Structure 1
């Protein structure tokens, strides 16, 4: 086991802060204990934000250039949490420098770049360097419990999947233009939150084979130019000028998975839904649903109930369910968990692998860059379907 592990985060925005906080807390979860985790550096070109984030989460320093992190002898593990178009250069540079990498989803801005990153990851792995992608929702106990209900047969044959991820960070017209609103269709709401639903659906229903009915819509076609740096989903501070929005505010599609069919709908203009991710699985023996709105519970319906009390029951998640026991300081039912916790479990899983803990004693490993490429192949098929008027398109 490593004597200690030095970590850094490149990107100090909203998701970057989640990674920074996760590394700070990761050593407090589960057993066996990790080696000491050193919080070394936050990298961000915007100095005020980077310095504030480093101080807030207890990192030793802020650097403006990611190359300084690549060259640093005291850093072993790096999270890359910046605009998708920047992923390839940074990740490939870090891997070449021998750093273990956790990259946010989607893996990159184009399939060509993602495939190059996956090839670089395979080369790095040959020398013992780990490259993983963050599919954080696979850490949700509720989603893992639904998978357990499928695997043990309690839901019977899986018949239908429904997924919705509604957000409203783009529903205000004063939200300034940023990289999130620029790029081809498929890089907007679909790439941002639809990528989450894609890997969740495949985790529950098997690999996506074909998509159809692809549809994109841009509800707000131009946005104000910002006065300064745009951080996260901030609003205001805009000039009188505007810039066009070139990608999707809304996306939907149908899919054929290995075990069933399903539908997915995503939006960043769903006013009143700040972060509503909802998944439902319907089977011949019952059904189950989970929502980020109430992430510490799952609703389950089983066909073996008496007819006069048939219906969904609410199950409070606790130590009897996956990823729960030992996962928090208070791991009792009803205490509550949230999306921030998923990042902590994700960081813990990566650090366990870097530390050399056996897989049997660890959380499920983070997914590989090849998984990240496949996820992008699903999104690319949706975009192709939309261009073709909703036609069916094979994945991959």
Structure 2
């Protein structure tokens, strides 16, 4: 699922923004499910499909790699790629634990490669525009953010067990969705310094074991044997930012009626801004001069509209798939020594994101405010 989005991003990266990106050769898609690897390679114009990540590490004709696999595999694969001198774009969350993330950061810094994390919502025009409003000071001092990332991919208890449902507290909805939502909140308001309170809930306690490969959130033929779910379906946390603002963040993988709903409201001293990912190219704004929310469409003065779309005109609209294209372009630009777009999140950002998640888990266990350790 996300792997196809990365493949599409690399295939399309050279068609957006200004000319000058060196030619990109699409070499390999690797997956343990070799049929899936070969079909994805064929669909997106890659030369071959490999059946192991080790083949990519050993390949002399590959310089840049996206790591889009189960979280607990990230450390081993990224370390091997770094040793081989390959530049890495790793999906979020960066690793299962902050210790793993710290080791990955050290390995990539020692190798001198470009290493980035896939927080794609940073590339959404509406979110970028809200950030500009908040950071400009026009709305006054930020006070609070209320944000949700609700999905329903785990609603069906008959959906097969996969890596997403294994692992301890915090490795479920908090890691999968909360990593995105926390990054968006910090992208807008700066670093989280403490988790004031948190709650993790598992609703569906067991799932059937699949008889074959599970792709993305899809269903698969299952056996009669069931396996306990080891992590959270719902997660909620209250946070405090270093600038003094507070936030309430909620994520779920079992929210009926919400296939993919990320939305937030930011309240400041002299105004507020609201965003919903279903209208990714716009936001709503309320100010002391014009009470009540009004719709603001992100126009061609925004870089992800001007040059970022085949028809780059105000009101055409963007979607989450476009964010993967912009992410791939920024990554390739950086590898090529160009600086056209803002850089993707760093491994240090990915480590901090995990430290916030771990503080949320500790807050759940202790029922007390918990600082985010450095």
Normalised-by-shorter TM-score class: over 0.9
1:211 aligns with 2:211: no
**Partners of 1:22 and 1:112 in 2: how far apart?**
30
Alignment match, 1:6: none
Shift of 1:297: 1.3
Alignment match, 1:73: 60
Alignment match, 2:253: 268
Partner SS, residue 78 of structure 1: strand
1:356 aligns with 2:356: no
Residue 144 of structure 1, aligned match among 119, 128, 138: 128
TM-score (norm 1): 0.92
- 1:103-141: per-residue Cα shift (whole Å, max 9, x none)? 00101112211110011011012xxx2111111111111
Alignment match, 1:8: none
**Partners of 2:32 and 2:322 in 1: how far apart?**
27
1:1-396 paired onto structure 2 within 5 Å:
14-125=1-112, 129-259=113-243, 260-305=245-290, 310-357=291-338, 359=339, 362-389=340-367, 391-396=368-373
Runs of at least 5 residues in structure 1 that lack an aligned partner in the other structure: 1-13
8 Å contact kept, 1:124–1:130: no
Give the number of equivalent residue pairs.
Answer: 372
8 Å contact kept, 1:145–1:322: no
**Partners of 1:24 and 1:312 in 2: how far apart?**
39
**Partners of 2:335 and 2:200 in 1: how far apart?**
40
8 Å contact kept, 1:181–1:246: yes
- 1:241-277: per-residue Cα shift (whole Å, max 9, x none)? 1100010000001000023111100000001100000
TM-score (norm 2): 0.98
**Partners of 2:102 and 2:4 in 1: how far apart?**
27
**Partners of 1:162 and 1:77 in 2: how far apart?**
37
Partner SS, residue 25 of structure 2: strand
Partner SS, residue 242 of structure 1: strand
Shift of 1:321: 2.9
8 Å contact kept, 1:225–1:241: yes
Alignment match, 1:5: none
Shift of 1:197: 0.8
**Partners of 1:258 and 1:324 in 2: how far apart?**
32
Shift of 1:46: 0.5
Alignment match, 1:11: none
8 Å contact kept, 1:161–1:263: yes
8 Å contact kept, 2:121–2:323: yes
**Partners of 2:292 and 2:302 in 1: how far apart?**
21
Shift of 1:236: 4.1
- 1:181-204: per-residue Cα shift (whole Å, max 9, x none)? 010110100000100011111111
Shift of 1:92: 0.4
Runs of at least 5 residues in structure 2 that lack an aligned partner in the other structure: none
**Partners of 1:394 and 1:266 in 2: how far apart?**
21
Alignment match, 1:10: none
Shift of 1:292: 1.1
- 1:55-98: per-residue Cα shift (whole Å, max 9, x none)? 11110001112121112121110000000000011000001001
Partner SS, residue 39 of structure 1: coil
8 Å contact kept, 1:318–1:331: no
